[in-house]
Amino acid sequence: MRACRREPVPHTPVWFMRQAGRSLPEYLKVREGIPMLDSCMRPDLVTEITLQPVRRHNVDAAIYFSDIVVPLKAIGIDLDIKPGVGPVVERPIRSRADLAQLRDLTPEDVSYVTEAIGMLTGELGATPLIGFAGAPFTLASYLVEGGPSRNHEHTKALMYGDPQLWADLLDRLSDITAAFLKVQIEAGASAVQLFDSWVGALSPADYRRSVMPASQKVFEAVAGYGVPRIHFGVGTGELLGLLGEAGADVVGVDWRVPLDEAARRVGPGKALQGNLDPAVLFSTQDAVKAKTDEVLAAAQNLEGHVFNLGHGVLPTTDPDALTRLVEYVHTRTAR
């Protein structure tokens, strides 16, 4: 929390995107036979899975175990997470009539989130819990494409061809996202991260014109709570300044841009998060240390730095490599 607020820290804090699950054998065991979305709606499971990496790796923050499509499912969108594919939407949104699928999200729709966070904050003690949500553009992309997409052709066709419908879609999604984050903060989340996983597919001009207003609306909606707001997208080197401008207190940086250069692009007044390449963890311990040193050297003059990977933990990562990495960063940066 201090690093997010650009205050002095005893050591650089560490957490990992997708640390709750993916690579942990105890996660695979507890989730056995339980579909992804079902596991996100069971407070007991959410609590256990969120705590697993904190217990194992000694990370400095927990991140709430969920999925970016949970609020869409909660308001009745017919979708499922198909193993090996990702979220698949039964009726993609392609016309104004389709917008009717998107009603407002109420706290009652996600009562399991409130319950799980209550359980978690009791267990975590002083360890902060990061809440999270998918950003309007990424949610819109899933809804318009009907699932994951490499080129976002339907999404961009709608964005360019019917800018008013696009703006209305993103505006509605920003309200749903803000409501989902508010539930998490009011239940006890100490910080929130907005994931714009697909936004790296856009040019800066398109982002500023067609996406930034919706992301700004989300950040403004939760500004009054005073919790740090983190913004992360993949392949967003050209957008880093705009991601900060959208209202984040902390800008997440993927592995493609060194942190000192990222700081120049983002400008003063923001902390940065990142940005070790997740694939480095498959190399030797010496190589991991060397690449970690490069990240820490680039972060030396930052106003605030939260160490993380430049994207999520890869599923076949050795969990012990993550545990060693946390210990190394803590030791190496001890003030």
Known binding residues for substrate: 18-22, 67, 142, 197, 311
CB 221 within 8 A of CB 228: no
Show the tokens assigned to 140. Answer: 């819109």
CB 148 within 8 A of CB 82: no
Question: In this structure, what DSSP letter does residue 314 have?
Answer: P
> Is the link from the previous residue into 275 a cis peptide, with omega within 30 of 0?
yes
Phi, then psi, of 132 in degrees rounded to 5: -155, 160
Q: What angle do CA 122, 66, 101 make, to 5 degrees?
A: 130
Please state the residue numbers annotated as binding site: 18-22, 67, 142, 197, 311
* Active-site hit among 27, 112, 142, 207: 142
Nearest Cα residue to 172 out of 227, 130, 223, 213: 213
Strand 191-196: give its sheet, edge to edge: 62-63, 129-134, 191-196, 229-233, 250-252, 271-276, 305-309
- The letter for the amino acid at 34 is I
Interatomic CA distance for residues 199 and 221, integer angstroms:
21
* Active-site hit among 5, 42, 67, 209: 67
* Active-site hit among 6, 18, 56, 172: 18
* Active-site hit among 6, 31, 56, 229: 31
Which whole-number Å values give the CA distances from 42 to 64, 113, 125, in the listed order?
Answer: 13, 9, 21
Residue 22 annotated to the active site: yes
Interatomic CA distance for residues 271 and 253, integer angstroms:
11
H/E stretch holding 124 reads helix 111-124
Q: What is the dihedral of CA 298, 302, 307, 308, to 10 degrees?
A: -80
Residue 67 annotated to the active site: yes
Nearest Cα residue to 243 out of 188, 181, 200: 200
Given the DSSP bridges, would you call strands 229-233 and 86-89 parallel, antiparallel or unpaired?
Answer: unpaired
Residue 142 annotated to the active site: yes
The residues annotated with a catalytic role in the active site are 18, 22, 31, 67, 142
